């Protein structure tokens, strides 16, 4: 963390169009957006806010839908701000919340560490990966966590261990003093993590990353605005298989479409509103439930107010 100063160095913007900051390229506006210069600057900014100020933290804006009516409060943009990434003396990798998954994977491979390859397949940043226990191809980020760094609303840095959290499939909750899980508190943010990876063949890891990315390009609608996988995979099955089995590939509402390439993706074919996307999510849920009896749970986060 940089040396503290007594003045803010980041950029504050007002009435921000969120479609510019989410990967779906759709949605409403947020009252304020702050892009910090670094962690010290973010801590100072948080100290200036009222304790009841609604906060939203966004990295690359994947896995997020902001309704067309927008949202009150302040957006904290971590991508381009919390970007520190290095290997420590004990071998752990330290990554701040704004580091993209692909950059983390490549950095680990460059340092002859293996096990981070799956991060290249996650279209988000470390902060979001921690908040939802992101994963793919059989691995999840919290499997690699040694400890996390959180920033409180008071601007204080705190370190926690995985034992302080209840970790599940695409789910992260805090534990109270009795070990009982409760939703992640809104008064603290994931800002960094120490990750443990095994030493190994860096060249083989780089090749695995290349292969994974080629597979992702071949199987997912990378060139069209989307938010990654929309639904969690139900136990023993895959959301994409269920959606496709119900004949929903290509189903459209407005500019939103169930991808012809991968059924668990909804793409913005041009001009989609957040309402189009949310409506299509609900239609897919209803159709799959009616035909299979299985309720698909969204993996993406939907926030804000409807118009």
Closest to 50 measured CA to CA, from 72, 81, 70, 67: 72
Active-site position among 229, 257, 259, 278? 229
By DSSP bridging, strand 29-35 and strand 71-77 are: parallel
Question: Are residues 67 and 304 in contact, defined by beta-carbon separation less than 8 angstroms?
Answer: yes
Cα Rg of the chain (Å, integer): 19
Q: Is 170 a catalytic residue?
A: yes
The helix/strand/coil state of 120 is helix
Instruction: Report DSSP state, residue 82.
Output: S
Q: Is 219 a catalytic residue?
A: no
Tokens of 203: 């060249």
Residue 122 CA to residue 270 CA, distance in Å, equals: 24
Closest to 106 measured CA to CA, from 202, 232, 2: 202
Q: Is 198 a catalytic residue?
A: no
Closest to 122 measured CA to CA, from 111, 132, 114, 113: 132
Active-site position among 147, 160, 170, 174? 170
Question: Are residues 109 and 65 in contact, defined by beta-carbon separation less than 8 angstroms?
Answer: no
**H or E element: which one contains 208?**
helix 202-219
Q: How many CB atoms lie within 10 A of CB 40?
A: 17
Where in the sequence numbering do the catalytic residues fall? 170, 229, 299
């Amino acid at each position: 963390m940089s040396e503290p100063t007594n003045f803010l160095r980041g950029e504050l913007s007002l009435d921000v169009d969120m479609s510019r900051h989410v990967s779906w390229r759709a949605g409403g506006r947020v009252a304020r957006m702050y892009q910090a210069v670094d962690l010290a600057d973010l801590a100072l900014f948080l100290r200036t806010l009222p304790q009841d100020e609604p906060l939203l933290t966004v990295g690359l804006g994947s896995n997020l839908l902001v309704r067309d009516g927008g949202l009150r409060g302040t957006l904290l943009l971590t991508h381009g701000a919390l970007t520190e990434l290095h290997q420590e003396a004990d071998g752990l990798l330290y990554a701040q919340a704004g580091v993209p998954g692909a950059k983390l994977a490549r950095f680990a491979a460059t340092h002859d560490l293996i096990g981070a390859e799956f991060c290249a397949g996650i279209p988000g940043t470390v902060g979001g990966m921690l908040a939802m226990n992101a994963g793919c191809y059989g691995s999840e980020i919290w499997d690699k966590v040694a400890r996390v760094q959180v920033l409180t609303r008071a601007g204080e840095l705190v370190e926690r261990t995985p034992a302080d959290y209840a970790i599940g499939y695409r789910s992260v909750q805090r534990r109270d003093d009795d070990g009982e899980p409760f939703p992640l508190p809104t008064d603290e943010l994931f800002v960094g993590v120490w990750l443990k990876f095994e030493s190994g063949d860096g060249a083989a890891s780089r090749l695995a990353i290349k292969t994974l990315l080629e597979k992702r390009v071949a199987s997912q609608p990378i060139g069209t605005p989307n938010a990654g996988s929309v639904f969690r995979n139900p136990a023993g099955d895959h959301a994409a298989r269920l959606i496709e089995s119900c004949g929903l590939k290509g189903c459209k509402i407005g500019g939103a479409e169930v991808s012809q390439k991968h059924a668990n993706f909804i793409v913005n074919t041009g001009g989609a509103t957040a309402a189009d996307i949310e409506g299509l999510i609900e239609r897919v849920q209803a159709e799959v439930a009616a035909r299979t009896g299985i309720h698909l749970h969204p993996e993406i986060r939907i926030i804000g107010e409807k118009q």
